[in-house]
Amino acid sequence: MAARRGPGRQSGPDKVTIAGVGEAESESGASALDAALARVGDRWSFLVVEALLDGPRRFNDLVTAVVGIAPNILTDRLRRLEREGVLIGRKYSDRPARMAYSLTEDGLELAGVLRLLATWGARGSGRAEGLRHVSCGSLLEAHWFCPTCSRTVDENDETSALRFA
């Protein structure tokens, strides 16, 4: 199945097909993107994960790091992300009960997703800037790479089709 490239349009034969994003459904009826968004698909969850990328933080540190989040919303997102296996809370005090939160391996894998999303947001907002290479200062670009073929796959590759397995 081809992914839509705009309202009512599908990618042509010379474009990369991205099956599974919003169209291809699993046996449960949910697409791969739908499944991912069900786990961490709201603004606050992504911002909490971003705040934890540098290492463990306590609740009050997260309230400060995630600007604008209400404590009750933070509590809800921390509980949900912990249930989903994205982060883990470790008690550092019994009385009163206090937790420090850190990302699991699944949570750390979101770093790449957040970088891509941030780069996309920077391009469209005009206010923010994308990631830069420290050595030369150039803006970074993301590319799909096939480890089996040892080559980069791009939109102009007529023989390639990106698909969720």
pLDDT at 81: 97
Domains of the chain by residue range: 4-113+155-163
**Tens digit of each residue's pLDDT (9 = 90 or more) over 23-48:** 445 555 678 888 888 888 899 999 99
pLDDT at 63: 97
Q: Determine what percent of the chain is predicted with pLDDT higher than 70.
A: 76
Per the document, the length of the chain is: 165
Angle in degrees, CA 41, 85, 64, rounded to 5 = 65
Architecture of domain 4-113+155-163: Orthogonal Bundle (1.10)
pLDDT at 132: 85
DSSP the chain: -PPEEETTEE--TTS--EETSSS---TTS--HHHHHHHHH-SHHHHHHHHHHTTS-EEHHHHHHHSTT--HHHHHHHHHHHHHTTSEEEEEEETTTTEEEEEE-HHHHHHHHHHHHHHHHHHHHHSSS---B-TTT-PBP---EEETTTTEEE-TT-TT--EE--
Is the bond preceding 96 in cis, omega lying within 30 degrees of 0? Answer: yes
Predicted model pTM? 0.70
Comparing 13-17, 53-57, 90-94, the range with the smallest average pLDDT is: 13-17
